[in-house]
């Protein structure tokens, strides 16, 4: 443990996390957004994109897209900004493994030499 903590602390500023959500329900249940905000977002089909602020480790809103396809495009374009500057990246998914596979294939065109990890995430 004593050996790995300094390594992790060195890697935190080099780690960028962005997430897209299918539904606002879990954000509401987790207390990240209020019930009224969840209802309005659902009615408008909002797909939030969140990130993790490296200095504090808390979740922040980054963007709001009006469809799943636009949310995935946003994530792709965000990753594109790192082309030629990274060695590895990861795609996490909660329930839709095939969507993750499709996104990894799409990213593979952008990052043909880099290792792309796939992982299932949960609460």
Tally the residues of the chain.
123
pTM for this entry? 0.80
How many whole angstroms separate alpha carbon 74 and alpha carbon 56? 24
Q: Give CA–CA dist 105/79, Å, rounded.
A: 13
Mean pLDDT by 10 residues, the chain (123 residues): 90 86 68 62 71 74 86 94 88 91 93 90 79
Strand pairing report for 59-65 and 115-120 = unpaired
Task: Say whether 118 sits in a helix, a strand or coil.
Answer: strand
């Amino acid at each position: 443990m004593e050996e790995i903590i300094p390594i992790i602390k060195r890697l935190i500023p080099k780690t960028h996390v962005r997430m897209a959500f299918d539904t606002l329900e879990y954000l509401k249940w987790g207390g990240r957004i209020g019930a009224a905000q969840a209802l309005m977002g659902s009615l408008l089909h909002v797909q939030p994109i969140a990130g993790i602020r490296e200095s504090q480790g808390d979740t922040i809103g980054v963007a709001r897209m009006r469809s799943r396809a636009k949310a995935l495009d946003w994530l792709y374009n965000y990753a594109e900004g790192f082309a030629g500057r990274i060695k590895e990246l990861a795609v996490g998914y909660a329930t839709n493994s095939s969507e993750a596979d499709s996104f990894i294939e799409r990213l593979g065109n952008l990052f043909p030499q880099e290792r792309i990890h796939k992982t299932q995430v949960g609460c």
